[in-house]
Amino acid sequence: MAAGNGPRAAPRRERFEHPSRQPPRRAERGAARCRHLGGGRKWGKRGAVGRRAEERLLQPGCSAVARDFNSFVMRTNTCGELRSAHVGQEVTLYGWVQYQRQGLFLVLRDFQGLTQVIIPQDEAHSRVKKLLSDAPAESVVRVTGIVSHRPPGQENPKMPTGDIEVKVETAEILNSCKKLPFEIKDFIKKSETLRMQYRYLDLRSFQLQYNLRLRSQMVMRMREYLCNLHGFVDVETPTLFKRTPGGAKEFLVPSREAGKFYSLPQSPQQFKQLLMVGGLDRYFQVARCYRDEGSRPDRQPEFTQIDIEMSFVDQAGIQRLIEGLLQYSWPEERGSIATPFPSMTYEEALAAYGTDKPDTRFGMKIVDISEFLQRLDIQFVQNALSYPRGTVKAIRIPQGMRYLKNKDLESLKESAKSQFNQEIMEIICRPDGSLKSLLTKFLDEKQQSELIQALNMQVDDVVLLAAGEHKQVCSALGSLRLETANLLEAAGLVLRDPTAFHFLWVVDFPLFLPKEENPTELESAHHPFTAPHPSDTSLLYSDPTKVRSQHYDLVLNGSEVGGGSIRIHSAEQQRFVLEKVLKENSEVLSHLLEALDFGAPPHGGIALGLDRLISLIVDAPSIRDVIAFPKSFRGRDLMGNAPDYVTPEELEPYHIQVSWPLADKEAKKN
């Protein structure tokens, strides 16, 4: 912080300056929903949240209640609150020493901001002067003093409290800080391991305070929308349940009954359906969920979803609900979002973007040129088209030659080969408008010109072309589209507007997919409770592979942020799916099947991935940045050192013992 202030001419009354910030964007429109620490950490591309805080903290939404941050405590004000209007008042502030300069002044920090505090220099205050001059940075202090105007010319317009300073009368060191392992302002430069080990210090940073407060407020707004406006009931469901069939990713919890285990569920799916059978009508929960995936980057063993279920609803009803929910809870400083969100079928998404979670912030869509090419006698094209669902497709990279190097193109082709086993052919539009490609030798001039037209190519454009089976070709090109976007942006092209939020519904997923390990068997594309598409119900009994589902995904900027479905409410249909289609033992779900028999209403729901959603909104590089105490990618808590060893005695009540891997056993022997 201090580092950014540069050399000072007048140390007696230095101006406290915030590090330069990007200019405020849409933020200006609304009242400040969150005050900021004056820290200067930058974050992601959209990090410009450190604008001047508004004078009043308005409670957004149904009422304009000001939050009282000073209730129940002895401070008169927070460190972000004092303005010219307070001049002359005696105030008591509590906070952390941001820095102290030459026994003359210090800057006090709390969650809401910074206040410059003038240390008295006269003899009568010698004790106070010594106290404050000796206090190490990050010590916790109380100061009481008089709010004064800063001397003319010393005001700091970049600092919300920059018009005033507090002349200290009395002070108290509440807790002196030991030498830190590093300075807070350098935190962002430190390894993430170190930051997670000292998470409580990282939490003092502007960005984490902002992220956690935005998260809290957005969830609160969601609750208001669901609970107060639309009559949803917040119901807590158990997290100690039993293993679902095939629930390989569920943590186990040993019970005191020998051999019996609880399981931490991946979602409240069964419970929320049972609540509908119980006539609750409208349920929601901000639900803690668990998934044991071992080590996976940017996944957390515990995560949170906004879990919703409704009776007597159809797909459109859930979609409108979610659109209203997000619109209502959307942080004002992130602009507004338009509803209804656009919608796309799974097949359309695959064909145009090569994925079921298209990033629609930019073009470069996949184009089908099979029809154009099939007229030509090109061997590899004819080969590809002779297969079932054979196709030739392409993406066009506008100005690709200006932004991509040869090695970029090579790496794109290699990536398609290694990840999708897909050959890629490139077509380049030379400055003279001619094409450079292995393909050109098969094309006469007219055909080349037709191809240029079909692909809408301009000078310096690059086209990546792939031939083969539809899904493979689309997936490969969809992946290249994203890789290319990263390369273009790394080269300086702004392709994805960092302030844009593109929501998209993806619908009409297949209900079943062939199992990867045995393609003659089917598995649920999402989960076995998903209802078939009303138009495809009869196909369920004749050709289940062709059945579309009533599943819907919500995609934001190319990330899946939610998914849900209308559920099967007929016990007979549910039994058929489980037993005849999926060939599963329905015994373990007998309670659910029985419930469907006893007056289950038609129902459906959705779950939003809260961690992911918030991380996209604040443009954080990882979901770890929107979680107070995240685990490392190996699932460890680096601060408290969890998981940890326990004694055999502690395992005894649970009737389990550790089966040490051989290597460990040997090591223990020696």
Site for a copy of itself in 157-176 (CB under 8 A): 174-175
Site for a copy of itself in 37-66 (CB under 8 A): 37, 57, 59, 62-63, 65
CB 453 within 8 A of CB 496: no
Q: Which is nearer to a copy of itself, 518 or 598 (CB)?
A: 598
CB of 627 to a copy of itself, least distance (A): 7
Give the list of residues 6+ apart from residue 516 with CB closer than 8 angstroms, or none: none
CB 164 within 8 A of CB 172: no
CA nearest 161: which of 104, 227, 211, 91? 91
If one asks whether residue 96 binds a copy of itself (CB under 8 A), the answer comes out as yes
Site for a copy of itself in 119-138 (CB under 8 A): 138
Task: Please spell the DSSP secondary structure of 177-219, one letter per residue.
Answer: PPPPSS-GGGGGGS-HHHHHHTHHHHTTSHHHHHHHHHHHHHH
CB of 80 to a copy of itself, least distance (A): 11
> What is the distance between the alpha carbons of residues 38 and 158, in angstroms, rounded to a whole number?
10
Distance of CA 645 to the CA centre of its chain: 32
Give the list of residues 6+ apart from residue 81 with CB closer than 8 angstroms, or none: 69, 112, 113, 161
Select from 8-16, 150-158, 262-270, 543-551 the region that touches a copy of itself (CB under 8 A).
262-270
> What is the distance between the alpha carbons of residues 282 and 284, in angstroms, rounded to a whole number?
7
Q: Which of 21, 45, 190, 243 binds a copy of itself (CB under 8 A)?
A: 243
Binding pattern for the stretch 326-365 against a copy of itself, x by CB under 8 A and - elsewhere? ----------------------------------------
If one asks whether residue 194 binds a copy of itself (CB under 8 A), the answer comes out as no
CB of 620 to a copy of itself, least distance (A): 16
CB of 355 to a copy of itself, least distance (A): 29
> What is the distance between the alpha carbons of residues 46 and 212, in angstroms, rounded to a whole number?
17
Site for a copy of itself in 523-552 (CB under 8 A): none
If one asks whether residue 235 binds a copy of itself (CB under 8 A), the answer comes out as yes
> What is the distance between the alpha carbons of residues 393 and 470, in angstroms, rounded to a whole number?
9
Q: Tokens 């007597």 appear where?
A: 312
Distance of CA 454 to the CA centre of its chain: 38
> Which SS3 state, helix, strand or coil, does residue 477 take?
helix
CB of 96 to a copy of itself, least distance (A): 6
CB of 562 to a copy of itself, least distance (A): 16
> Which SS3 state, helix, strand or coil, does residue 445 take?
helix
Question: How does strand 559-566 pair with strand 343-345?
Answer: unpaired
> Which SS3 state, helix, strand or coil, does residue 413 take?
helix
Q: Which is nearer to a copy of itself, 430 or 665 (CB)?
A: 665
Q: Which is nearer to a copy of itself, 454 or 571 (CB)?
A: 571
Q: Which is nearer to a copy of itself, 385 or 600 (CB)?
A: 600
Q: Which is nearer to a copy of itself, 124 or 663 (CB)?
A: 663
> What is the distance between the alpha carbons of residues 319 and 608, in angstroms, rounded to a whole number?
12
With CB under 8 A, what is the number of residues at the site for a copy of itself?
138
Q: Which of 2, 87, 104, 177 binds a copy of itself (CB under 8 A)?
A: 177
> What is the distance between the alpha carbons of residues 29 and 197, in angstroms, rounded to a whole number?
38
If one asks whether residue 629 binds a copy of itself (CB under 8 A), the answer comes out as yes
Give the list of residues 6+ apart from residue 3 with CB closer than 8 angstroms, or none: 185
Site for a copy of itself in 273-332 (CB under 8 A): 274-275, 277-282, 288, 290, 292, 294, 301-302, 304, 310-314, 317-318, 320-321
Q: Which of 6, 9, 72, 669 binds a copy of itself (CB under 8 A)?
A: 72
| Terminal Cα-to-Cα distance of the chain (whole angstroms) | 52
Binding pattern for the stretch 635-654 against a copy of itself, x by CB under 8 A and - elsewhere? x-x-xxxxxxxx---xxx-x
Q: Which is nearer to a copy of itself, 388 or 598 (CB)?
A: 598
CB of 288 to a copy of itself, least distance (A): 6
Q: Which of 217, 422, 557, 615 binds a copy of itself (CB under 8 A)?
A: 217
Q: Which of 88, 153, 231, 297 binds a copy of itself (CB under 8 A)?
A: 231
If one asks whether residue 259 binds a copy of itself (CB under 8 A), the answer comes out as yes
If one asks whether residue 569 binds a copy of itself (CB under 8 A), the answer comes out as yes
If one asks whether residue 237 binds a copy of itself (CB under 8 A), the answer comes out as yes
CA nearest 251: which of 292, 206, 301? 292
Q: Which is nearer to a copy of itself, 432 or 649 (CB)?
A: 649
If one asks whether residue 24 binds a copy of itself (CB under 8 A), the answer comes out as no
Q: Which is nearer to a copy of itself, 81 or 523 (CB)?
A: 81
Count the neighbouring beta carbons within 10 Å of the beta carbon of residue 109: 26
- Which pair of structure tokens corresponds to residue 369? 């040129």
Site for a copy of itself in 428-457 (CB under 8 A): none
Q: Tokens 């970049």 appear where?
A: 158
CB 105 within 8 A of CB 132: no
H or E element that contains 609: strand 603-609
Q: Which of 255, 327, 370, 399 binds a copy of itself (CB under 8 A)?
A: 255
CB of 482 to a copy of itself, least distance (A): 31
If one asks whether residue 73 binds a copy of itself (CB under 8 A), the answer comes out as yes
CA nearest 41: which of 16, 10, 20? 20
Exposed, middle or buried, 446 (CB in 10 Å: 0-12/13-18/19+)?
exposed
- Which pair of structure tokens corresponds to residue 505? 């519904």
Q: Which is nearer to a copy of itself, 621 or 643 (CB)?
A: 643
Sequence letter at residue 57: L
Q: Which of 43, 94, 105, 353 binds a copy of itself (CB under 8 A)?
A: 94
Site for a copy of itself in 140-159 (CB under 8 A): 140
Q: Which is nearer to a copy of itself, 491 or 651 (CB)?
A: 651
Q: Which is nearer to a copy of itself, 64 or 438 (CB)?
A: 64
Q: Which of 77, 100, 144, 270 binds a copy of itself (CB under 8 A)?
A: 270
Site for a copy of itself in 582-611 (CB under 8 A): 591, 595-602
How far CA 47 is from CA of 212, 270, 410, 499, in Å, comes to 15, 39, 33, 10
In 398-508, which ranges are E strands? 425-429, 435-437, 462-469, 503-507
If one asks whether residue 261 binds a copy of itself (CB under 8 A), the answer comes out as yes
Give the list of residues 6+ apart from residue 374 with CB closer than 8 angstroms, or none: 381, 382, 385, 392
CB of 499 to a copy of itself, least distance (A): 25
CB of 199 to a copy of itself, least distance (A): 7
